[in-house]
Amino acid sequence: MSKVKRILTAVFAITMAFSIAGCSMIEKTPEAIQKSAVAVVNGEKITREDLDKDPNTIQIIQQAKQQYGDDYAKNEEAVSAIKTQKEQILDNMITQKVLAQKAKELNLLPTDAKVKSDTETQIAKLKKQSFGNDETKFKETLAQQGFTEQSLKDMFITQIRNQEIQDNISKYLAKGIKITDKQIEDYYNKNKTKYTEKPDTMHLEHILVKTKADAEKVKKRLENEKFSDVAKDVSQDTATKDKGGDLGTITYGDSNYDAQFMAGAENLKKGEISDPIQSSFGWHIIKCIDKTEYPVQKLSKVKDKIKSQLEDTQKSTKFSQKSDEWKKAAKITKKESNIM
């Protein structure tokens, strides 16, 4: 290689090195970081700024500051937890982006004017109901939660727009849904306890243990011992153990209780003790102290209510299925290295 060529090669290499270094320095500026993509959905970017301005992100950062102090970014545990949560937030943002794109395609996007009007209404309602229109208290509370008036407004705009999009898509997909009389009748026959004149109730006691074998031992002991004594001795439910396992009066179908537990309890007669029943918490022996059941309303009285419930269920199912289908079909690229 001639001397001139070697010099040109060296100059070219140095120029490229400075060029690459310059790009790196630009990328590391706060402005460039905020504009960097954390995901690309069908060609549309979700930027680091979009992610950082999400109200959920603002809240987790505020929580990190409260737990770890203003230097939370130097704490590995805090950074790891924030990164995990931001990844979940980003995944939700990607879903919302896919839905917005589909809504645009189907001409289902809400107008900016409606979103703005609804946002102003909601903020005015919040100020009045929660702060008595006290602006000082309102702003102080926002600051404590890591928000400004503008970021709060942005949050409402995002949430209202997303909800409008979901509602519009749901209505669009619901056009083909038809609930037959047979579906209504079948549902009614399988769920009559939901349609009593008043909610059915039962007074229960229970003993919770770890295994089925333990539950069988409990059932055997109850042949000769009082239920409350055995509960105080072996029950793993610390909230009711000292009360002899007494759960008080419970409404049928109470969603606060495991579905398998409730099904077993509802089948018991007054004074009856169950065989071992498994739930997500362990194994139970349940005693029905008392129960009050009311007459079931006639189908004609609850038909419209059931129809509405079945329609809502089908709408929700169809929306979820379509959302998953559209998301799988979308071209999505995540750039997780830009999240933090």
Give the per-residue pLDDT at 107. Answer: 96
Query: Per-residue confidence at 16, pLDDT binned at 50, 70, 90?
Result: very low
Mean pLDDT of 33-39: 86
Residue 129 domain flag? yes
Confirm whether pTM is higher than 0.85.
no
Mean pLDDT of 113-119: 93
What is the model's pLDDT at position 149? 87
Same domain, 134 and 237: no
Q: Is residue 288 part of a domain?
A: yes
| Mean pLDDT value of segment 142-165 | 88
The pLDDT mean for the chain works out to 88
Provide the 3-class DSSP secondary structure of residue 324: helix
CA 41 – CA 330 distance, rounded (Å): 7
| 122 plus 29 within the same structural domain | no
- Asked if pLDDT for residue 20 goes beyond 60, the answer is no
**Structural domain boundaries, residue 205:** 199-292
Same domain, 168 and 208: no
In a domain, 307, yes or no: no
Kindly give, in sequence order, each residue whose CB lies less than 8 Å from that of residue 262, ignoring residues fewer than 6 positions away: 252, 253, 254
- Provide the CA 80 distance to its chain's centre, in angstroms: 21
Residues 87-105 have a mean pLDDT of 95
* pLDDT of amino acid 24: 42
In a domain, 189, yes or no: no
Nearest to 338 by CA among 33, 112, 26, 21: 33
Are 104 and 168 part of one and the same domain? Answer: yes
Pair 169, 67 in one domain: yes
Would you place residue 335 in the very low, low, confident or very high pLDDT band (cuts 50, 70, 90)? confident
Asked if residue 75 and residue 109 are part of one domain, the reply reads yes
Q: What's the CA gap between 123 and 109, in Å, rounded? A: 22
Same domain, 145 and 206: no
**Domain-located, residue 192:** no
Is residue 256 located within the same domain as residue 145?
no
Has residue 188 been placed in a domain? Answer: no
Highest average pLDDT, of 101-115, 129-143, 144-158, comes from 101-115
Mean pLDDT of 201-230: 96
As a whole number, mean pLDDT of residues 118-129 equals 92
Instruction: Kindly give the interhelix angle for 299-329 and 149-173, rounded to the nearest 10 degrees.
Output: 110
- The 3-state secondary structure of 1-57 reads CCHHHHHHHHHHHHHHHHHHHHHHHHHCCHHHHHHCEEEEECCEEEEHHHHHHCHHH
Which pLDDT score is estimated for 233? 96
**Residue with tokens 């609850």, as numbered in its chain:** 302
* Total number of domains constituting the chain: 3
Strands 246-251 and 332-334: unpaired
241/229 Cα distance (integer angstroms): 9
Across 284-291, average pLDDT: 97
186-201: average pLDDT: 93
Residue 177 clears pLDDT 50, i.e. is over it: yes
Query: Is pLDDT of 112 > 60?
Result: yes
**HSE (side-chain half, CA atoms, 13 Å) at 326:** 21
165 lies in the same domain as 281: no
Instruction: Give dist(CA 305, CA 289) in Å, integer.
Output: 32
Mean pLDDT over residues 175-186, rounded?
Answer: 93
151 and 221 housed in the same domain:
no
For residue 187, tell me if it sits in a domain: no
Query: Does some domain include residue 186?
Result: no
Check pLDDT > 50 for residue 232.
Answer: yes
Q: What pLDDT, on a 0 to 100 scale, did the predictor assign at position 23?
A: 44
Q: Are residues 55 and 161 both part of a single domain?
A: yes
pLDDT at 28: 62
The pLDDT, as a whole number, for residue 87 is: 93
- Are 268 and 208 contained in the same domain? yes
pLDDT digits (tens, 9 = 90+) for 237-275: 999 999 999 999 999 989 899 999 999 999 999 999 999
Question: What pLDDT was estimated at residue 58?
Answer: 85
2-6, 144-148, 164-168, 249-253: least confident range? 2-6
